[in-house]
Amino acid sequence: MKKFVNDPANFVREMMEGVVLANANKLKWIPQYNIIYRADMPNDNKVSIIQGSGSGHEPAHIMLVGQGMLGAACPGNVFAAPPMEYVYECTKLMNSKKGVLHLINNYQGDRMVFDMAREMAEADGIKIGTVIINDDVAVEASTHSVGRRGVAGNFFVIKACGAAAEQGASLEELVKLGNSVNSVVRTMGMALTSCTPPAKGTPIFKIGDDEMEMGIGIHGEPGRRRAKMAPADAIIDELFEAVASDLPFKKGDRVGLMINGMGGTPFSELYLLYRKAALNCKDRGFEVVRNYVGNYCTSLEMAGFSLTLIRLDNKLERLLDAPAEIPIRVF
Amino acid sequence: MKKFVNDPANFVREMMEGVVLANANKLKWIPQYNIIYRADMPNDNKVSIIQGSGSGHEPAHIMLVGQGMLGAACPGNVFAAPPMEYVYECTKLMNSKKGVLHLINNYQGDRMVFDMAREMAEADGIKIGTVIINDDVAVEASTHSVGRRGVAGNFFVIKACGAAAEQGASLEELVKLGNSVNSVVRTMGMALTSCTPPAKGTPIFKIGDDEMEMGIGIHGEPGRRRAKMAPADAIIDELFEAVASDLPFKKGDRVGLMINGMGGTPFSELYLLYRKAALNCKDRGFEVVRNYVGNYCTSLEMAGFSLTLIRLDNKLERLLDAPAEIPIRVF
């Protein structure tokens, strides 16, 4: 297994410790429950936003904890939902008079533990709102989900709700906002290679040297089709058509365009892909007013990417532009 | 070849077009000479800083053009120095009354074209300063260099000189500053996998499934030794010792610590590696006052990383904290 790891059983804990060591003044953590949280939260003047899904998608979700983003995250093991008690403890820790917002990507495991934790926390008198993210147009249901999966579009829900929460929005307003953002964002991904969870030690699926998986899920779930390798522009065309025709996006729409790396795809290739996606937007009459190229929701070291389009308006653009801070620095 | 590419001959041009499309208001480009430059440069009140090395190391160097960073970059093909005329045209384009600073990583090809371009530009009356970066402690000379190679430490030279140039420093001051930063920064890298330049179509070196290369160069040049795979902490210990003992760094030093991904290493593993490096700093009595974890100087899709330590002081910390902007957004 070609990975940087010590004991695979400590992979998530040691990664989290690294994040906390790199952000000693801003983040705290509770190793027992895999919780990383803002040192200045909870705050009774703000709704606390939490997320807890499988690890292996970094920077989602533990590296998105910060001002104007998540208040806390409580990941499970690689590609595994967190135990219910992690979510329950995280919810109690982040309890605020204004409430706690659960942002959940649509996977059965995640939904189940968040449902149970919500019931228990509500019995404790905590006010909870829930937003389900399901932006992946690839398949209508898959091995891990009933209904569409939540993938890179999650970033926009976090960013918009995080900004609004910082400005004092109520829990009800945030639920409405989160659902509204989710309703205008669409994504589809693909992969050239598989990836290897540390504790498994072998790739989660096999793929030929001349093959790619179109519509893949972020845990390697099958997509729409296995295909022979194709030029970058042809790959973009297929994902773009699937995403653009789904909402559908229309001529004159102001959009955000994201090319999200799956973890093993270098910046050079992501920008080469962005080029064709931006040209396609021009051809269709979509005005790209915000762009995002980088690693937002990954699958360990997988070589691949997803393409996301989001329909923007003045209100949403202001929220996406609001100050925010995450534990990852570029310079 | 598992890469996102159309015609390999257009790889660099299409990547550059992507960067420019994503930053339409801030960057301009001259495809003929592979030049990307700040739309607000040159400016006679500021020294222009340029760099041009091989492509394949993104974000270095074309994705580091921006306010407080580079004024322009003129890369060659993947892992190849730019033709001399690219550097000459870039220097002329960025000509400012205060002069033009050439930041050159220490490789024979790069030094030769920059030397020739400098001669020609000086004959045109352009004032030029040069800083050579050679932070790699792995080997004293290699296939591409006489003397030590310039690698991820380059980032700190760009950042410090970029900040000082923005504040109006003279060319002489910037040359002195660049040399001074280079003198306190040390790096060593290693790799788990090879990488494949698009035009070559095959990996630049072979490595066994259970092997790693310690001290590797950013073009896949041999390092100090080929070894069997080891735990992440042991890998950090070896690089850390090589880097820390070289300057040498001393108890009580304030340092910046960088874990730089080589392109195919996910954030999860980079932070797991950062953890041990930060703990080692603590053990040695080095105070980590700035940290950098991410992709700064890559080798296409190579799985690997480098560890950099830089000795800081008040002046350098202020320069590293100065406002800067690059064409890549994180969120």
Confidence of residue A144 (pLDDT cuts 50, 70, 90): confident
Helices A108-123 and A84-93, packing angle to 10 deg: 50
Q: Which residue of B has its CA nearest to A10?
A: B272
**What pLDDT score does A331 carry?**
59
> DSSP string covering A25-70, please?
TTEEEEGGGTEEEETT---TTS-EEEE---BSSTTTTGGGBSTTSB
Whether residues A44 and A82 share a domain: the answer is yes
Q: Check CB contact under 8 Å for B300 and A268.
A: yes
Name residue B140's amino acid.
E
Looking at the predicted structure, is the pLDDT value of residue B322 above 80?
Answer: yes
Which of B2, B59, B273 has the CB atom closest to A267's CB atom? B59
Q: Check CB contact under 8 Å for B268 and A19.
A: no
Q: How many CB atoms lie within 10 A of CB B26?
A: 16
Range of the domain at A197: 185-311
Helices A267-284 and B11-21, packing angle to 10 deg: 60
Per-residue pLDDT tens for A154-172? Answer: 999 999 999 999 999 999 9
Whether residues B88 and B224 share a domain: the answer is no
Q: What is the mean pLDDT of residues B19-31?
A: 97
Domain's final residue, options B183, B204, B219: B183
Which of A11, A22, A328 has the CB atom closest to B330's CB atom? A328
At residue A74, the 3 state secondary structure works out as coil
What is chain B's mean pLDDT, rounded? 97
- Domain membership flag for residue B267: yes
Of A74, A140, A149, nearest to A113 by C-alpha is: A74
Whether residues A52 and A162 share a domain: the answer is yes
What is chain A's mean pLDDT, rounded? 97
Which of A2, A6, A11 has the CB atom closest to B303's CB atom? A2
Per-residue pLDDT tens for B190-210? Answer: 999 999 999 999 999 999 999
**What pLDDT score does B305 carry?**
98
Please check whether residue B152 touches A, CB under 8 A.
Answer: no
Angle at B6 between CA B306 and CA B303, to 5 degrees: 20
Whether residues B224 and B159 share a domain: the answer is no
Q: What is the mean pLDDT of residues A207-230?
A: 96
At residue B104, the 3 state secondary structure works out as strand
Query: CA distances (Å), A244 to each of A213, A218, A255, B94, in order?
Result: 20, 20, 11, 41
Angle at B261 between CA B260 and CA B263, to 5 degrees: 145
Neighboring chain A residues of B15 at a CB cutoff of 8 Å: 268-269, 271-272, 275
Looking at the predicted structure, is the pLDDT value of residue B331 above 60?
Answer: no
- Domain membership flag for residue A26: yes
Whether residues B209 and B244 share a domain: the answer is yes
Per-residue pLDDT tens for B93-139? Answer: 999 999 999 999 999 999 999 999 999 999 999 999 999 999 999 99
Whether residues B35 and B91 share a domain: the answer is yes
Confidence of residue A294 (pLDDT cuts 50, 70, 90): very high
Of B159, B172, B186, B321, nearest to B244 by C-alpha is: B186
CATH classification at residue B126: 3.40.50.10440
Q: Nearest-CA distance from B132 to chain A in Å?
A: 21
**What pLDDT score does A26 carry?**
96
Interface test with A, best of B1, B2, B3, B4 (most A CBs within 10 A): B4
A101: tokens are 């917002």
Long-range contacts of A83-88 (CB under 8 A, 24+ apart): A83/A113, A84/A112, A84/A113, A84/A116, A84/A117, A84/A120, A85/A33, A85/A117, A86/A33, A86/A34, A86/A35, A86/A52, A86/A113, A87/A50, A87/A52, A87/A113, A87/A114, A87/A116, A87/A117, A88/A116, A88/A117, A88/A120, A88/A121
Whether residues A174 and A195 share a domain: the answer is no
Whether residues A168 and A299 share a domain: the answer is no
Interface test with A, best of B29, B258, B268, B283 (most A CBs within 10 A): B268
Virtual torsion, Cα B24, B27, B31, B33, nearest 10 deg: 180
- Domain membership flag for residue A325: no
A23: tokens are 């952000």
Of A214, A145, A165, A201, nearest to A65 by C-alpha is: A165
Domain's final residue, options A126, A156, A183: A183
- Domain membership flag for residue B323: no
Domain's final residue, options A167, A183, A199: A183
- Domain membership flag for residue A329: no
The number of domains in chain A is 2
Looking at the predicted structure, is the pLDDT value of residue B329 above 90?
Answer: no
- Domain membership flag for residue B326: no
Whether residues B136 and B219 share a domain: the answer is no
Confidence of residue B59 (pLDDT cuts 50, 70, 90): very high
Q: What is the mean pLDDT of residues A220-235?
A: 96
**What pLDDT score does B137 carry?**
98
Whether residues A204 and A163 share a domain: the answer is no
Q: Check CB contact under 8 Å for A232 and B55.
A: no
Per-residue pLDDT tens for A36-94? Answer: 999 999 999 999 999 999 999 999 999 999 999 999 999 999 999 999 999 999 999 99
| CA B244 distance to own-chain centroid | 20
What is the rounded CA–CA span in Å between residue B283 and residue B287? 10
Query: CA distances (Å), A267 to each of A76, A258, A260, B212, in order?
Result: 28, 13, 10, 23
**What number is the ipTM of this complex?**
0.97
Catalytic one among B57, B61, B102, B144? B57
Mark whether B219 is an active-site residue: yes
pTM of the model: 0.98
Confidence of residue B142 (pLDDT cuts 50, 70, 90): confident
Whether residues A171 and A124 share a domain: the answer is yes
At residue B79, the 3 state secondary structure works out as coil
Looking at the predicted structure, is the pLDDT value of residue B9 above 70?
Answer: yes
Whether residues A128 and A198 share a domain: the answer is no
| CA A133 distance to own-chain centroid | 9
Strand partners, B145: B142
Looking at the predicted structure, is the pLDDT value of residue B143 above 90?
Answer: no
CATH classification at residue A254: 3.30.1180.20
- Domain membership flag for residue A4: no
Q: Nearest-CA distance from B59 to chain A in Å?
A: 7
Helices B84-93 and B108-123, packing angle to 10 deg: 50
Per-residue pLDDT tens for A183-194? Answer: 999 999 999 999
Interface test with A, best of B271, B273, B289, B297 (most A CBs within 10 A): B271
Q: Check CB contact under 8 Å for B63 and A267.
A: yes
